Amino acid sequence: DTGVSQDPRHKITKRGQNVTFRCDPISEHNRLYWYRQTLGQGPEFLTYFQNEAQLEKSRLLSDRFSAERPKGSFSTLEIQRTEQGDSAMYLCASSLDSYYGYTFGSGTRLTVV
Amino acid sequence: GIQVEQSPPDLILQEGANSTLRCNFSDSVNNLQWFHQNPWGQLINLFYIPSGTKQNGRLSATTVATERYSLLYISSSQTTDSGVYFCAVGETGTASKLTFGTGTRLQVTL
């Protein structure tokens, strides 16, 4: 297993467009997490899944954001009607369970122009 | 929500020096992890350490949960240790949601 994969690595989009990011976790990990990181800050929690169930969403995740994990495998994060404030690094991580260390992917850097 | 403070915010070391990074948190936790974010942005998990002491090569970490702090020790630092070190905690009852500190930026020079 090569770790957590995220695609694309970089995305530039015009304000108002929709974007979708994909995360492929480590195959035996049942927990999957999305975080957002802006310059100079630590990552901020967005949401997490246990298998296919989305168990918690941050208040940072407005109605324009939606995440899915069909069949408990890969996950997608969609942002509708992007705004300049959405520009950030979107990070995905997975873990075997709550009490194991996270493995992060390389992230998707979103720039909204 | 839980507050996580890291110190120092910035640290410059010569290669070969030792350092101690500190993480203080404001409430009880049952998940604590240390990460290294390298200059290319990749977050690497160093330790899962909600309590006790662990060592991995030149790195070691200690968490005293009852006193709400954790320490990361780096010995014989190398230029490849440069980057940002984050402490992240999961509050008791919400262990899956990690709250990250603001990090310690480390620069190791020759």
Written as six digits, the tokens of A90 are: 């979107």
Closest approach of A95 to chain B, Cα-based (Å): 9
Tell me which residue in A48, A99, A107 faces B97 most closely, judged by beta carbons.
A48
Answer whether residue B36 shows pLDDT above 80. yes
B108: Cα separation from own chain's centroid: 16
- Tell me: the pLDDT tens digits for A59-80? 888 899 999 999 889 999 999 9
- CB contact (8 A) between residue B102 and residue A42: yes
Measured between beta carbons, the chain B residues lying within 8 angstroms of A25 are: none
Nearest-angstrom CA–CA distance, A79 and B5: 31
Q: Report the pLDDT value the prediction gives residue B51, as an integer from 0 to 100.
A: 95
Q: Report the pLDDT value the prediction gives residue A98, as an integer from 0 to 100.
A: 73
- CB contact (8 A) between residue B42 and residue A104: yes
From edge to edge, which strands make up the β-sheet containing B19-25? B4-7, B19-25, B69-74, B59-64, B52-56
Measured between beta carbons, the chain A residues lying within 8 angstroms of B43 are: 43, 91, 93, 104
Tell me which residue in A43, A56, A99 faces B31 most closely, judged by beta carbons.
A99
Chosen for mutation from A38, A46, A47, A102 (greatest number of chain B CBs closer than 10 Å) is A102
Q: Which residue has the higher pLDDT, B95 or A90?
A: A90
Q: Report the pLDDT value the prediction gives residue A61, as an integer from 0 to 100.
A: 83
Q: In chain A, pLDDT over 90 holds for what percent of residues?
A: 86
- CB contact (8 A) between residue B96 and residue A98: yes
Q: Report the pLDDT value the prediction gives residue B95, as an integer from 0 to 100.
A: 62
Supply the mean pLDDT for chain B.
Answer: 95
Q: Report the pLDDT value the prediction gives residue A2, as an integer from 0 to 100.
A: 75
- CB contact (8 A) between residue B33 and residue A103: no
Answer whether residue A1 shows pLDDT above 60. no
- Tell me: the pLDDT tens digits for A12-38? 999 999 999 999 999 999 999 999 999
Q: In chain A, pLDDT over 70 holds for what percent of residues?
A: 99
Closest approach of A82 to chain B, Cα-based (Å): 23
- CB contact (8 A) between residue B98 and residue A102: yes
Mean pLDDT of the B70-91 span? 97
Q: What is the DSSP string of B31-78?
A: EEEEEEE-TT--EEEEEE-SSEEEEETTEEEEEEGGGTEEEEEE-S--
Closest approach of B26 to chain A, Cα-based (Å): 17
Q: Check CB contact of B43 with chain A, cutoff 8 Å.
A: yes
What count of Cα atoms within 13 Å lies in the side-chain half-sphere of residue B83?
18
